[in-house]
Structure 1
Amino acid sequence: MSLFDSAAARAAGEPMTFTVAELANRIKQVLGDAFGDELWVEGEIRNLSRARSGHMYFDLVEPDPDNGSGKQPEALISVALFRFNRERVEETLRRQGGMAMEDGMKVRIQGKLDFWPPGGRLQLYMSDIDPNFTLGELEAERLRLLEKLSGEGLLTKNQAVPFPVAPLRIGLVTSNGSAAHHDFHNELVASGLAWEVVLADTPVQGVDAPPLIAAAIGAVGRAGVDVIAVVRGGGARTDLVAFDSEVVARAAANAPVPVVTGVGHEIDRSIVDEVAHEAQKTPTAAAVFIVTVARAHLEAAEQAWGGVSAWALRRLGDADQRLMVVSQTTARAADSHLLRAGSRLQSRAGRIRELAETRTRGETRRVDGCAGAMRYRASAAIADERRTLEQMNSTMASQAQRAPRAATKELTNLEGRVRLLDPRAILARGWSITRHGGKVVRDPAKLGAGDELATTLAEGDLHSTVNENQ
């Protein structure tokens, strides 16, 4: 658009018309006039990506306080950090405790706000970062959360849960295969005790880590474990922000069993350490603590059994002595009783022999009398039975003579009847039997021409063929 056309349009009260390039240049000019070359912007990093070219891109957002982190932001601007600036920014972060840019990190960055005409996109080109702002925000948020949890009594809630005397079933919350996982596991194995570990594999870093860590704590807490161990290896202060989150702190505080933490290095102290039953400096230290508690219980049990054994041995020694005294006394008393009982037994044995001899003589006389009476009665009974037997023999002999004669007569009658029914006798009177196919022919209507017949006569068989059936 020329200056003349622009002035004419304004004079006529009509909207100005630009080409796309003119509009893009005007936007770049307005941005330069309004914001200058460099400015500082505060916000939260989201959608961070690193290109193969070495450049870094992310969105800097203003979270909506009503929706919370991770939801639709209140405002957003795209940021580009080119490689020549990225190396310097990352070195600045490394000097401040090894920090690194990642999603969810609150930052204060410096850059130039510009409009990129080929892409039609407003973008902030980052050149520097203020690490003290990030650390200050983390600490301020940490203090606010500690105060909130303290007001609700959650800083000491898990500590009030009794610690088991033998925590051999452990719920382990960590990233499977990580250095923290290996350090913790190796310490348990080296102890030689019989552990049972319920592993809840979860990310321990990143914007999605807090709810997943909290869910893992809840899952192992419901699995019937004796103690929950939450461990993570060391890293930058910003790498541990997941363990400063409210959702993780509440999950640990409300766990049904004691929580032992081993997060970071010696100097690190997270919110989850504050609410845990026991906070150890490292994953290895957390495992050592649990091993020490379990081993102390086993040693105490062994000492108790040793005391029980010694007490039992003393009681057995005392009992042996008392038993020896009692046995000796009993033996002497038994000898005395046996002597007196032997004397009484001999006296009673003499009286029993006399009484037995007297009784035996009387019983012998009674037995002799009974035997005589029984012999007389047996002789009479035998004579009676002999007479009865002779009568029965006579009766049976008479019946035996009559029975054959009757049977012979009956047999003769049966033979006559059999001869009358014999088919050969019937054939001898001139009758015959005709068969067709082995079956007796009773109805000539059932025969046809050509059927072969066999006729049985009194003196042999006759074979014939049917010529015509009338």
Structure 2
Amino acid sequence: MAASSQTSVFTLLDIGRSLQRMITAHYNKPYWIKTEIAKLNAYTKSGHCYPDLVEKQNGRILAQMRATIWSDTFQSISRQFEDITKKPISEGMTVLVLAKVNYHPNYGFSLNIIDIDASFTLGEMAKEKIESLKRLKAEGIFNLNRSLDFPKVPQRIAVISVQTSKGYQDFINIISKTYSHFNFKIELFPALLQGDNAITSIAEALESIESKTQEFDVVTIIRGGGGDVGLSCYDSFLLASKVARFPLPVISGIGHSTNETLVEMVTYTNKITPTDVAYFFIKAFQNCLDELQDLNDDFKSLVKLKLKDEQQELKQLHYNFKNEVNALLQNHNFHLKEQRQRIKSTLPSLFRKGFDNLDNSSYRLSWLTTQKFQKQQQELVQLSKSLKKESKNQLEHQRQQFHYLSTTLNLLSPDRLLQRGYTLNLVNDKIITSTTELKPGDRLKTMFADGYAESDVIKIKPNENN
């Protein structure tokens, strides 16, 4: 329909200025507004920030507005926000902003943000963490990882970290250089360790390790320095549930000592720093080595005791054998003397009965004596053979037992342990089993299977758990 001559006609600028006056008049003070940051739109060069704000319900956008935070204000707000929440302002956050309502005919409607209540966001994050913790427990996965069996010797370690980080370098220096004789097998799975993208990055690293779990004994997530800043990603339910369900023990060392995160809560064990994680693995190795040394010492003692018992038993058998032979010979000598005495006592009566029977009796007596003596002699020879045979069998049995024990002892001898990759450390030809036996300047002699190496002790670092 065409406009009549009496119809009022306004320009677009007129409408814009009218709206500007009305909004300025009615919205003349700042308001606290609860909203979600859909996009941050921060510009490094100018320092200004132009966030897109939204309000959602069940995933549906109910309202959205454009906002501005000028450079100086944005720097001040960001610094204060990060000091309180330990996390930078980022997209997806629910925040409570103090903003002025503005309208400009050329730039349109916007909110000028002059402050953000970090405590509100911190409360929202805390509530989300509590809800995630309840969910982990309700789904029965909170204690899954720490219920796994920890390997006696955690030698093959999958590490999730950043290769250039100081924490990772400290870990490698301790576990692969200072304690290189333990021969740890380390494989790095690089990942972002802080920020919003860290959740996806660490989860992808865990998936890579899970695809070849048979190649590893344990997993560790290490992050050096940085304090509590950037740790909110470790309160993610998605990441915490993935760690809790992981089929290998996970040890965390992300470099802070307060406000334990969800990921740290569900790991097999949590250590403060990468250095603590390294010494945790080393202690497991050292405990196993000490146990082997104790077994070796016990075995040596048992072998010595067994040899001593066998030697004593052999000595007793020899003594018993000698006594039995002497007793048998004495018994036969007694019978011979008795026979002679009987012969002497019967001679007078035989003479009285007649010399005719003398020759016959003498012959019979001589024959009987000879037969008896030969029989006794045969029995003595047979007994001697039996005793020799039994003694030989006993000696052979003891020899086989001694050979078996010697062979077993040889398998556990220091030379064999050296050939299997272990080493022995000596100072002045004395085996060193503890750092308390060393002092700076000592000449350390490290024995290998194919020789030895000498080095000077520069620094001694006792285990902090001792």
TM-score by length of 1: 0.60
Determine the structure 1 residue equivalent to 2:391. Answer: none
Unaligned runs of 5+ in 1: 11-15, 68-72, 342-470
Judged with a 3 Å threshold, the aligned counterparts in structure 2 of structure 1 residues 285 and 30 are, in CA distance, closer, same or farther, namely farther
Shift of 1:24: 3.6
- Residue number in structure 1 paired with 2:392: none
- 1:208 equivalent to 2:206? Answer no
Match of 1:9 in 2: 7
1:36 maps to: 28
Per-residue Cα deviation, 1:153-192 (whole angstroms, up to 9, x for no partner): 1111112111111111112122332233223323323333
- How many residue pairs align between the two structures? 324
> How far apart, CA to CA, are the structure 2 residues paired with 1:177 and 1:75?
44
CA deviation profile, 1:428-463 (whole Å, cap 9, x unmatched): xxxxxxxxxxxxxxxxxxxxxxxxxxxxxxxxxxxx
Alpha-carbon contact 1:104-1:207 (below 8 Å) kept:
no
- After TM superposition, give the deviation of residue 33 of structure 1 in Å: 4.4
**Counterpart of 1:175?**
162
SS at match of 2:123: helix
Q: Which SS does the other structure have where 1:308 is aligned?
A: helix
Q: How does 1:33-432 map to 2 (within 5 A)?
A: 33=25, 35-45=27-37, 46-62=39-55, 65-66=58-59, 75-93=63-81, 95-96=83-84, 98-115=86-103, 117-118=105-106, 120=107, 122-189=109-176, 190-192=178-180, 193-224=182-213, 225-235=216-226, 237=228, 239-322=230-313
Post-superposition offset of 1:29: 3.5
Question: What is the one-letter code of the residue matched to 2:98?
Answer: Q
Change (3 A) 1:125 1:321: same
The residue type paired with residue 32 of structure 2 is W
Larger displacement relative to structure 2 (249-258 or 167-176): 167-176
Equivalent position amino acid for 1:222 in 2: S
- Cross-structure match for 2:420: none
CA distance in 2, matches of 1:204, 1:309: 50
SS for the counterpart of 1:124 is strand
Q: Structure 1 pair 327/99, CA: closer, same or farther in 2 (3 Å)? A: same
Mark the CA change 1:55 to 1:296 in structure 2 (over 3 Å): closer, same or farther. Answer: same
Q: Provide the alpha-carbon RMSD of the alignment.
A: 3.6
Amino acid at match of 2:219: I
Would the aligned equivalents of 1:44 and 1:106 in 2 still touch at CA under 8 Å?
A: yes
- Per the TM alignment, residue 265 of structure 1 is displaced from its structure 2 partner at its CA by 1.1
Distance in structure 2 (CA, Å) of the matches to 1:113 and 1:175: 45
Task: Give the Å deviation of 1:94.
Answer: 5.1
SS at match of 1:184: helix
Residue 330 of structure 1 deviates from its aligned partner by: 9.5
TM superposition shift of 1:297? 2.1
The AA in structure 1 aligned to 2:297 is: G
Structure having the higher Rg: 1
Query: Which structure 1 residue ranges, 4+ long, deviate > 6 Å from structure 2?
Result: 324-333
Q: Give CA-to-partner distance per residue, 1:15-37, whole Å, 9 cap, x none.
A: x6533x33443443444345434
AA partner of residue 273 (structure 2):
T
Residue 61 of structure 1: how far off its partner (Å)? 3.8
Q: List runs of 5+ in structure 2 lacking aligned partners.
A: 325-376, 383-466
Instruction: Report the residue type matching 1:158 in the other structure.
Output: N
CA offset at residue 150 of structure 1? 1.0
Q: What is residue 391 of structure 1 aligned with on the other side?
A: none
Shift of 1:74: 5.9
User: CA-to-partner distance for each residue in 1:54-110, whole Å, 9 max, x for gaps?
Assistant: 32343334456448xxxxx66543333222212322342354265432344432222
Task: Name the CA distance, whole Å, in 2 between partners of 1:237 and 1:42.
Answer: 26
For structure 1, which segment, 209-218 or 134-143, has the greater mean C-alpha deviation from structure 2 after superposition?
Answer: 209-218
* Secondary structure of residue in 2 paired with 1:239: coil
Query: Quick check: 1:111–1:124 contact (8 Å CA) kept in 2?
Result: yes
Q: Against the structure 1 CA distance between its residues 17 and 47, is the aligned structure 2 distance closer, same or farther, given a 3 Å change threshold?
A: same
Q: Deviations over 1:129-174 (max 9, x none)?
A: 2111111111110111111111111111112111111111112122
Q: Deviations over 1:226-258 (max 9, x none)?
A: 111122345465611110001111111101011
- Residues 170 and 196 in structure 1, CA contact (< 8 A), matched pair in contact too: yes
Could you say if the C-alpha distance between residues 329 and 291 of structure 1 is closer, same or farther in structure 2, counting changes exceeding 3 Å?
Answer: same
1:25 and 2:17 correspond: yes
Is the alpha carbon distance of 1:36 and 1:234 closer, same or farther for their aligned partners in structure 2, counting shifts above 3 Å? farther
- Rounded to whole Å, the distance in 2 between the matches of 1:235 and 1:209 is 15
Q: Aligned with 1:100: secondary structure?
A: coil
Cα contact 2:82–2:89 (8 A) shared by 1: no
Compare 162-171 and 109-118 and name the one that shifted more.
109-118
Distance 1:284 1:298, change over 3 A: same
Distance 1:331 1:43 in 2: 106
User: What is the letter of the counterpart of residue 286 of structure 1?
Assistant: V
Query: How far apart are residue 200 of structure 1 and its match?
Result: 1.6
Relative to 1, partners in 2 of residues 1:166 and 1:332: Cα closer, same or farther, differing over 3 Å? Answer: same
State TM-score, norm by structure 2: 0.60
Whether the aligned pair in 1 keeps the contact of 2:100 and 2:113 (CA below 8 Å) is yes
Cα 1:326–1:296 shift into 2, 3 Å: same
Q: 1:268 to 1:141 in 2, by over 3 A?
A: same
* Cα offset, 1:196, TM superposition: 1.3
Structure 2 contact 35–54 (Cα < 8 Å) conserved = yes
Give the deviation of 1:320 after TM superposition: 4.6
CA distance in 1, matches of 2:102, 2:269: 52
